[in-house]
Chain A
Amino acid sequence: MSTTEMPATGLPSSALDLGRAVLPPLIGSPVERIDALEKVSGRATYAADTRLPRMLYGAVLRSPHAHARVVSVDTSRAKRLPGVHAVITGADTARVKWGAFRPDLYPLALDRVRYIGDEVAAVAARDLETARRACELIEVVYEPLPAVLSLDEALAEGAPLVHDDAEGNVAHEFSFDRGGADAWFERSDVVVEGVWETARQWHASIETIGCTAEWAGDRVSMWVNTQTPFLARQRYATALGLPLRAVRVVQTEIGGGFGGKSGDDNTSVICAILARRTGRPVQLVNTREDEFLASRPRIPMRYRVRLGFTASGLVTAKDIEVIADNGAYTGKAQAVLGAATVRHDALFNYRAVRAHSRLVYTNLVPTGAFRGFGNPSADWAVGQAWDLAAGKLGIEVPDLFLLNAVESGSVSPHNHKITSCELKQCITKAAEAIDWAGKRANPTPNRGLAMGVSVHVSGRRSFGDYDGSSAIVRLTEDGRATVIVGEGDIGTGARTTLAQIAAAELGLAVADVSVSRPDTDLTTHALGALASRVTYVAGNAVKRAAEQACGRLLEAAARQLGRPASQLWVADGVVHGPAGPDGGDPVSSPVGTVVRAELYRPDGEPVIGIGSFDNPSEFPDQSRYGNESGAYNFAAEAAEVEVDPATGALTVTEFAAVVDCGTVLNPPLAEGQVEGGIAQGLGMAVTERFSWRDGGPRRPNFGDYKLPTAGIMPRKLHIGFADSYEPTGPFGAKGVGEISLDPVPSIIASAVADAVGVRVHELPITAEKVFWGMSAQGAPPDTADPTAQDARSSAPEPDAAPAPRDPASAPHGSASAPDAGRGPDSRTQEAR
């Protein structure tokens, strides 16, 4: 690689000392899930499986209008239906607005509905059929109001306001210019630029959001499938107009979360109000239709991206403008927009970065946190610009990445301090896995090759100046250990990983360690499963608690066995000690015996350890400056895609992912995270979309919204991990829950561009968009269109392809808005 004259960057060049500890054998072994038997036998109790005596069932009536004044709600007929116990409206609520960052959501609409799906009334009845029937009997009179059904409509001069206090429909805005972008662009030899747009993507956990609530006096217990019981409790208390102490949240088994069950929606709040009103336990579980209207999907974002490079391929500056579709309510969208704006800058050695980001209200389904937390949007848009740049520079993408990738010791323009970093190793290994060189040397017609990279956090300091975790490890008199921690498990196997960490530290078998489920009354406080944080943050806390418990165990054993604690160790559930100085035999005592003897001695004590860990990170300021996490994980992924030139349909023929998540604690679990993330990335890239009408999905169910199935997963799939060690992580581990999803859409788009020369600028990458892109290039002779004569008159201009598309970017009511992308550059005449 040639050296280029570049001014000093201010980046430290020396790698950090990443000395590694010797790892116990349990670390890195494929430990069986501790919840395996419950889950394969159907015994695991998910939200809808909760059964309480005298329990009633709830249903919600939703707005059919994107924006309307609620003139009147008549519940009298519904209330008279036999079996109905309560019908509630906004008047029955505390009339308090709530929300994680910008309180703007009522539990039930008061006088205005702001999107198709807004909650208007709810019913509790003896069974679901009766509750749903009662909803049909509620009579609501609406006065429709003008609505804003796209970013452009929302930002237009004089647009109707979604919320009266958000001028110009802007809910949140920030900007920064670090390093002087203009000057660096001036010094750039190559500048690439484009606009890229994402669409709403729903978590579509197979289990929908659900809650069962029961009151005892002035206190409500809520069994909820929430990822974040403690954060959810805080919000529920606000929404219910109650002090925090009046709300207890217990996590049920969770059938998938992906950010969608992080407590920004009204379902649980409504459930609690119904339970109070009826004086009986009430269960409210979203139908799939409810889920599509009431959960908080991925935020559609429109990026204008500009990147500068020197002729030799060193990146100079990045300038982005981001407009994000908040939908009707805010939830976590403003935090997501922060990550979507800055996170990417911890990937490459940018000399300057500038951004302007706006979160914009629309009368559409509210958006929020989804696996990746803005990162997939950034990786898509900025990744596309990098792919264009590689073409312009004449440098193969992996080489361009290697030339600019961060390393251990790098510090991003936002003060993200990179400790362990094997990004370059990931890039090299991913290129090898997919045989980049071989495929480039022997190209196959209609097949394209592409690579993308990503960086993710291991915990993120954004919910107040705290990203910590604490844990209690109790050794039991039967020789087992109980880990009490409030983080929970949304399906990833986090509880198994924590059990494994505790077992490794304690010298017990994993089977002898149980891990609590979160209960705001019983477990330690925790932020929960978000931001790929549980392994890293809670793992450290559990490890420290286990360390302390083990120390106390050995102190007790020292007294019992007559050997100094420093000479004792635990193996296979037994405390061992050496022969005594007087020549006696080596000593040993089972852990349970030691614990029991310690409890039963005069003034005896339980053997308990506590541990806490706060992410060594900074609470970012208003401009998002600050080291958001103590450890960053990295990935490089590559794909080969084949396009059918006659239809535009694509097939991912091969995919390779190499992830740097530090030490891999449990290989099958880590692989599962990577594999599942790739599938969701393919969904975001290719299959997942709705057809919209008047501001709502036409059919909000799995008939229209297609998740990837087994059939479209790449037949050749390579999953690998970088040899890596994170000095601040538990046994060297970092987060792994989200990163594999992040680069997928960009990779698929680049591979399609490589295959057939069409670059789609708006997700998802449908066959139709690719087809029109190819048509605009001039169809190859073997795909000449028999209908050309007839079709030409009605067929779209290349820049105005005809499909209905996400209303986020389409003018309201337009059925002929551009689908394939925007402007001439959407056809990738620009690429290669």
Chain B
Amino acid sequence: MTTLAAEAGSGGGAPAPRPPVALAVPRSLDEALALLAQDGAAVLGGGVGHTLARHHRAPDRPSTLVPVAGLPALAGVRTGPDGRITVGAATPLDDCAKAAAIARVWPVFTEACGSVATGRIRRLVTLGGNIAAHDDAHDPPVALTALGADLTVRAARGGSRTLSVPEALRPAADGGLRPGELLVAVTLPTRPRGAATGSAYRKYLVRGVWEYACVHVAAVVGLDGEGRATRLSLAVGSVEGGPVAVPLDGLLGGRFDADLVEEAARAAASGTRPYDDVKGSAAYKTRMIGEFSRRALTEAAHRARGTGHHAGGDR
């Protein structure tokens, strides 16, 4: 490894300046895991989160950052022999949004990644960093929650484990991502055989300009030959404890029609707790969660039937 670090100041009684960070650049995944096992070390993906924390003068910033973006083990989009797509955690969101293999199978993920900020920022931000930031306003975790994607997490000790997005975002004590753990890859499910499946992501930019969503919803819909719902997954972000997967099992088997969409939208609106912020009051967001759930489900069903248009987010 190479270390890029400044010597910390020793003020001798004087108050200390904030110590500069050290970058400990690993050459392999194992080395990265070993470095991350040390106290005060943290993963450095695209660096955006750390740069923002520095600007905001966040306390308790890590003293050593371990850049993982250059590790081949964490890079790129691959389709496995079982047909499942695995996205390396260090893949920039822009690459996720542009991966044709993903867009063909799960446009909900393509749209979510492509809706983040601007292309410029999507090039900096890695998928793993975006998820590990624990920010309910982030887009890709919402899509991954609806998809039921598997996150592969590794640590120097304890080997590898697989978590869903909601599991990973729990507090560490409850089984969530722990310090020293590295999110290595995200594996998307295959589309089930025998059922037409579609997915869609809808992001409401309430002021028409790019910012975090007022409301964002991801939907996955599976339909059988009779037009009955075989799969209904709906995830909502920017809500308390989000992203929240809306339980819709009670609607499975029913005919996918306007009534079912209304039921699902109602469940999304009543089953989530958005918060007041500059983008709107909680009450307004609740109404919009209903509206955008309806839009996402409707588009996902269109796509399942092969009649969908591949539109982006609403902005």
Q: Which residues of A contact B (CB under 8 A)?
A: 77-78, 80-83, 129-130, 132-133, 136-137, 646-647, 649, 651, 686-687, 689-691, 698-699, 703-704, 706-709, 711-712, 766-768, 771-772, 785-787, 789-791, 794-796, 801-804, 815, 819
Contacts and interface: CB of A to CB of B under 8 A. Distances in A.
A646 B9 contact: no
A687 B281 contact: no
15 contacts: A80-B11, A81-B17, A133-B18, A136-B57, A649-B206, A703-B211, A704-B277, A706-B207, A711-B210, A768-B206, A768-B280, A771-B284, A786-B290, A802-B283, A803-B284
Contacts of A794: 283, 286
Given A786-B294, A796-B283, A802-B281, A686 B18 contact: no
B15 interface: yes
Contact of B269 (A132, A703, A786): A786
A711 B315 contact: yes
Nearest to A78: B15
A698 B287 contact: no
A772 B285 CA distance: 12
Given A136-B57, A819-B281, A766 B15 contact: no
A588 B280 CA distance: 72
Given A786-B269, A790-B270, A686 B208 contact: yes
Contacts of A706: 207, 209, 211
A712 B281 contact: no
A768 B204 contact: no
Interface string B249-265: 00000000000001101
Contact of A772 (B208, B284, B294): B284
A711 B9 CA distance: 47
Given A80-B15, A82-B17, A709 B281 contact: no
Contact of A768 (B265, B284, B290): B284
A766 B206 contact: yes
A81 B14 contact: yes
A480 to B, nearest CB: 43
Given A137-B15, A706-B207, A803 B291 contact: no
Contacts of A80: 11, 13-15
B17 A133 contact: yes
Interface string B139-162: 000000000000000000000000
What are the nearest 6 A-B pairs in CB distance? A787-B269, A691-B278, A803-B281, A802-B281, A786-B265, A786-B266
Given A711-B210, A712-B209, A786-B290, A802 B9 contact: no
Contacts of B204: 647, 649
Contacts of B290: 785-787
A794 B274 CA distance: 13
Interface of B: 9, 11, 13-18, 57, 204, 206-212, 262-263, 265-266, 269-270, 276-278, 280-284, 286-291, 294, 315
A709 B265 contact: no
B286 A787 contact: yes
Contacts of A77: 15
A690 B207 CA distance: 12
Output the residue of B209, B212, B286, B287 with the most chain A CB within 10 A. Answer: B287
A787 B57 contact: no
Contact of A82 (B14, B212, B262, B266): B14
A702 to B, nearest CB: 9
Given A767-B207, A802-B284, A819-B281, 16 more contacts: A80-B13, A129-B18, A686-B207, A686-B208, A704-B278, A709-B209, A772-B284, A786-B294, A787-B270, A790-B270, A796-B283, A802-B276, A802-B281, A803-B276, A803-B280, A815-B281
A647 B270 CA distance: 18
Contacts of B270: 787, 790
Contacts of A789: 266
Contacts of B286: 787, 791, 794-795
Contact of B208 (A132, A646, A687, A804): A687
The dominant DSSP class at the A interface is: loop
Contacts of B13: 80
B6 to A, nearest CB: 12
A137 B17 CA distance: 10
A768 B286 CA distance: 12
B314 to A, nearest CB: 8
Contacts of A690: 278
Contact of A709 (B210, B262, B282, B287): B210
A75 to B, nearest CB: 12
Nearest to A134: B15
A699 B212 CA distance: 13
A699 B55 CA distance: 13
Nearest to B271: A790
A136 B14 CA distance: 14
B266 A801 contact: no
Contact of B288 (A129, A647, A698): A647
B291 A647 contact: yes
A563 to B, nearest CB: 64
B208 A771 contact: no
B15 A81 contact: yes
A329 B286 CA distance: 39
A707 B211 CA distance: 11
A791 B283 contact: yes
A80 B15 CA distance: 6
Contacts of A136: 57
A689 B290 CA distance: 25
A92 B152 CA distance: 58
A771 B277 CA distance: 17
Contacts of A698: 277-278
A687 B210 CA distance: 11
Contacts of A802: 276, 281-284
A651 B276 CA distance: 24
Nearest to B266: A786
A771 B278 contact: no
A608 to B, nearest CB: 51
B291 A689 contact: no
B214 to A, nearest CB: 8
Contacts of B289: 787
Nearest to A288: B55
A123 to B, nearest CB: 13
Contacts of B17: 81-83, 129-130, 133
Given A706-B207, A712-B209, A801 B281 contact: yes
Given A132-B57, A687-B207, A687-B209, A787 B266 contact: yes
Contacts of A766: 206-207, 280
Contacts of B11: 80-82
Contacts of A689: 278
A711 B208 contact: yes
Contacts of B16: 81
A689 to B, nearest CB: 6
B276 A708 contact: no
Nearest to B205: A649
Contacts of A82: 9, 11, 14, 17
A4 B136 CA distance: 64
A787 B287 contact: yes
A791 B283 CA distance: 8
Contacts of B277: 691, 698, 704
Contacts of B263: 786
Nearest to A764: B207
Nearest to B208: A712
Nearest to B315: A711
Contact of A795 (B15, B208, B283, B315): B283
B206 to A, nearest CB: 5
A552 B277 CA distance: 66
B161 to A, nearest CB: 34
A790 B266 contact: yes
Contacts of A801: 281, 283-284
B251 to A, nearest CB: 13
A82 B284 CA distance: 51
Output the residue of B262, B266, B269, B283 with the most chain A CB within 10 A. Answer: B283
Output the residue of A82, A651, A698, A703 with the most chain B CB within 10 A. Answer: A82
